[in-house]
Amino acid sequence: MHRSLAIALLLGALIGCGGDDTPASRDAAPLDASTAADADVQDRDATVQLGWVDFAVIGCTSGEGSEASPCIGPSPLRLRFALLTPAAVDSQSWFFGDGSEPDLSLNPEHVFAAPGSYDVSLNAEGPGGTAGVTRLAAVVVIPAPLAASCTSDSHCASGDCACELADSCPDVLGGGMCVRSCASHAACGGNRCVNLDPTGNGSEDWERTTCLPACTPQSDSCGPNRSCEALLGVDGLITHACFASGLLRPLGASCRDVDGQLSDALCASGLCLDLGDRGMCSFSCQSLACPSGSACATFVSGVPAGPHCLVDCSQNSCDADGSLACENAGTAFTVTGAASAAGYCAPIP
């Protein structure tokens, strides 16, 4: 009701601001100077009463932030609040119900860190008086799902936040990450059990075997700062799950570190081949099938030794490495099964 009134007042103000060609201005009798002056004094002296105050909430996953429709989102939940009022205000105080100090900003931003239900209050004061509003359970913060950012175990539905200290996780993770240990895909329900430490040499807290949300490359359902990545499943096969983009590189990506050395740890597969100028993330297919978009290739020269997955050029143009190109199977290498007409990203003969 309050928002409707505010909109009505705004529309009324806009309608009342017509130009000299409006019917009202054409039909009105001219005012003499003294009458106009008196009207101006009355306008200045008139004070619009601050009969009510309300607020809008921006950033909810669902809901509006009212008692009937609470603002709901995962922890930590960052929201922006916008003051709504029919008259000018000189000061305002926001109370977010989480033990934080009152915020005196006009339209503040606030982070609700821990899961829970929060009452939000607003008090305002202006030339037209004072007004306040309290919404019970206006904000409901739910525990964060797998792969979401976190800063405490208590933020996660799984009860486990990898590298809780934000500075102990890579920046691309946006803080810590909600994880849950697993030994099989079945243990993750509809999610995937992923090995984020494919070399077994990782020392970071996020480098572990954990359940992550399942996804498909064509979808965009992984949430903020996450994308559908090709990762190594606990069963030794590449699978797709929601994770930070670029932290572990996909098949066909370059894999030399900042010192120019081949680095298996950069690859989601845990294998960096000495192909091209920048190396190439690959996957051994001696006993396992290559993932979709690649083929099991054996080089005629035997270098690299053993069959490895090469990316189909319909998936990767090879433009990032000047020593690689889209090559057809048959001369430098052979592939298992029907060869792709687009060729494969391989060294230029």
Set out the domains of the chain in order of their start, with CATH numbers.
54-142 (2.60.40.10), 144-248 (no CATH)
- pLDDT attached to residue 42: 42
pLDDT category of residue 140 using cuts at 50, 70 and 90: very high
Listed ranges 40-44, 82-86, 287-291; the one with the highest mean pLDDT: 82-86
pLDDT of res. 46: 61
More confident site: 202 or 17: 202
What pLDDT, on the 0 to 100 scale, is given for residue 89?
95
What is the CA 229 to chain-centroid distance, rounded? Answer: 14
Residue 218 CB contacts under 8 Å (≥ 6 apart), including other chains: none
| Whole-structure pTM value | 0.73
Q: Is the pLDDT of residue 319 over 70?
A: yes
Compute φ and ψ for 179, nearest 5 degrees. -130, 170
Name which of 234, 238, 109 is nearest 180 in CA terms. Answer: 234
When pLDDT is averaged across residues 149-164 and rounded to a whole number, the result is: 89
Share of the chain above pLDDT 90, in %: 64
Instruction: Count Cβ neighbours within 10 Å for each residue of 325-349 and write b for 16 or more, e otherwise.
Output: bbbbbeebbebeeebbeebbbbbee
The token duo for 98 is: 């989480």
Query: Does the structure show a pLDDT above 60 at 6?
Result: no
Q: What is the mean pLDDT of the chain?
A: 85
Q: Which of 13-27, 94-108, 141-155, 287-301 has the highest mean pLDDT?
A: 94-108
- Percentage of the chain surpassing pLDDT 70? 85
- What is d(CA 219, CA 2) in angstroms, rounded to the nearest whole number? 39
Q: Mean pLDDT across the stretch 90-104?
A: 97
Give Cβ neighbours of residue 280 (< 8 Å, ≥ 6 apart): 252, 253, 254, 255, 272, 273, 321, 324, 345
Mean pLDDT of 118-145: 96
